[in-house]
Structure 1
Amino acid sequence: MIRQLDSEIWVIDHADFELGPGIRIGTRTTVIRLTDGGLWVHSPGPLTEDLIQEINRLGPVRFLVAPNTFHHLFVSENCTAWPSAKLYVAPGLSEKRKDLSGTLELGTDPDPGWSAEVDQCLIEGSPRLGEVVFRHGASRTLILTDWVFNVGRPDSLGARFFFTLTGVLGGVSVSRLIRFLTRDKAAARRSFERVLQWDFNRIVMAHGDVLEQGGPSCLRGALSRIGMTSD
């Protein structure tokens, strides 16, 4: 169930996740093992007892990260599975999920527990999404959630319809929904200019295929097509 991408980084593909009846778009969790042996879990997904055991074999879960205001559906069950983990949430999510207790808000500065290994950047200009993106330095991996999709051939008619409607079918691209939610394009552009200065090759996103190489040029191309780069 867990697939290793590189040294100390794994993904969990939740292929059966449905946005609605018949709209199986899938989602993805990323797990990083920090140098102290603890785990950093990005976009926590649905759990089974077998999956909990697999994750526990990698190490103790120290951090749970809900990276935007959309990816929170499975946070509670992950908090129950790992009650001692710190829960970090995107700006605005605490207001949306008042049932979550003890939350810490993500921002520009990472927690000292991961700051030496994982960079982060709040993408400004889209407060209703509030997405924070990350980079795992050791594996040169950029971790996005909903800002960029990489959809090839969906295996269901509902998913194909959804991805076509949102304009993300056929490669690395930004959805129409994210474009609609971005009210300050200049602020978002400045945020991504910072991200594009990071050293990365691979891109992991929540929906679609992991992009194993050529990440900077593909990200720049996707942003350029919607007027989100300065060149």
Structure 2
Amino acid sequence: PRPGWQRFWAHAGHEVRRGSVSLQPIAENIWLQHFPLSVLGTQHGRNVTIIRLSSGKVVVHSMAPFTADDVEGIRALGPTEWLVEAMLLHDTYAREGRAVFPGVSFLGPPGFEPVVGFPVSPLSPAPDEWAGELLVFPLEGAPKLEEQVMLHVPSRTLIVADLVFNFDPHEKGWDRFFHRYLAGFKRYPGMSRIFRLFVKDKDRFLQSLRPIIAADFDRLVVGHGTLIETGAKQKLVEALRDAGFAVD
């Protein structure tokens, strides 16, 4: 089990509006669902990415409080073959997701299985059936996070968990105060102060970032916040530089 403060941060104050969430097509064979999520009174939201491979099989990236209608909508896209959580602190809805997709292979980062208490297969290396379509880039140097970044090659879409967030730059009140002064976001997209503190080996972290930045992507799906439709590579480079991780 994780230390109490980590569990608190991952789960504190999360509030969810029940009800089905529409699937938003963002490119061919890739869809986005945005679920409400409140953390310590701030509006974080939670994004779920659904990818259909050329085989017709479906990958669901990030779990959420799926309703029966949500599950039906995802299953209508094709046979759901893999459920993915790409970071250790992203276990909030892992059990719920597994429960509504029984028998589906669950993939996660190293150390995820002891956290959730059910069988989890490695996300990296990626399944052979993903070859040429979905790539996985493990982030190193932050062993308590073990985030795994994914790239949907056909749509040039990068998918992250908490590497960067992309909230409303015009947010006000508690959201703005918390995100700017406590979480330490300088601009959006941006890396949180908490994520930066988890990076224990800067050189390894930078080395693992470089193949991601070298990859061919233009769109970025963040785990929390708004989709970046275009120009995502430069925005990600700037966010990393802001956080002290210059990769260019």
TM-score, structure 2 length as denominator? Answer: 0.86
CA shift at 1:180, angstroms? 0.4
CA shift at 1:122, angstroms? 0.4
Q: Is residue 2:23 matched to residue 1:2?
A: yes
Q: 1:17 corresponds to which letter in structure 2?
A: L
How many residue pairs match? The answer is 226
Q: Deviations over 1:133-192 (max 9, x none)?
A: 000001000001101111115767443333222122641111101100000111110111
Higher percent of residues as strand: 1
Q: Deviations over 1:29-71 (max 9, x none)?
A: 1000011111101111111111111111111210000100111
Q: Do 2:237 and 2:247's aligned partners in 1 also have CA atoms closer than 8 Å? A: no
| Partner in structure 1 of residue 120 of structure 2 | 103
Distance 2:242 2:95 in 1: 37
CA shift at 1:94, angstroms? 1.7
CA shift at 1:114, angstroms? 1.4
TM-score, structure 1 length as denominator? Answer: 0.92
| Partner in structure 1 of residue 101 of structure 2 | 82
Instruction: Show structure 2 runs of 5+ residues with no match.
Output: 1-21
Instruction: Show structure 1 runs of 5+ residues with no match.
Output: none
| Partner in structure 1 of residue 160 of structure 2 | 144
**Residues 156, 42 of structure 1: alpha-carbon distance in 2 compared, 3 angstrom cutoff:** farther
Distance 1:29 1:160 in 2: 24
Alignment RMSD (CA, Å): 1.6
CA shift at 1:200, angstroms? 0.4
Distance 1:24 1:226 in 2: 22
Q: Do 1:23 and 1:156's aligned partners in 2 also have CA atoms closer than 8 Å? A: no
Distance 1:147 1:187 in 2: 15
CA shift at 1:106, angstroms? 2.3
Q: Do 1:62 and 1:86's aligned partners in 2 also have CA atoms closer than 8 Å? A: yes
Structure 2 residue matching 1:150: 3-state secondary structure: coil
Q: Do 1:63 and 1:86's aligned partners in 2 also have CA atoms closer than 8 Å? A: yes
**Residues 39, 230 of structure 1: alpha-carbon distance in 2 compared, 3 angstrom cutoff:** closer
Structure 2 residue matching 1:32: 3-state secondary structure: strand
| Partner in structure 1 of residue 225 of structure 2 | 208
Distance 1:48 1:156 in 2: 31
| Partner in structure 2 of residue 19 of structure 1 | 39
Identity %: 31
Runs of 4+ in 1 over 6 A off after TM superposition: none
Greater shift in the superposed pair: 31-40 or 84-93 = 84-93
Q: Do 1:160 and 1:169's aligned partners in 2 also have CA atoms closer than 8 Å? A: no
Distance 2:38 2:215 in 1: 33
Q: Do 1:24 and 1:158's aligned partners in 2 also have CA atoms closer than 8 Å? A: no
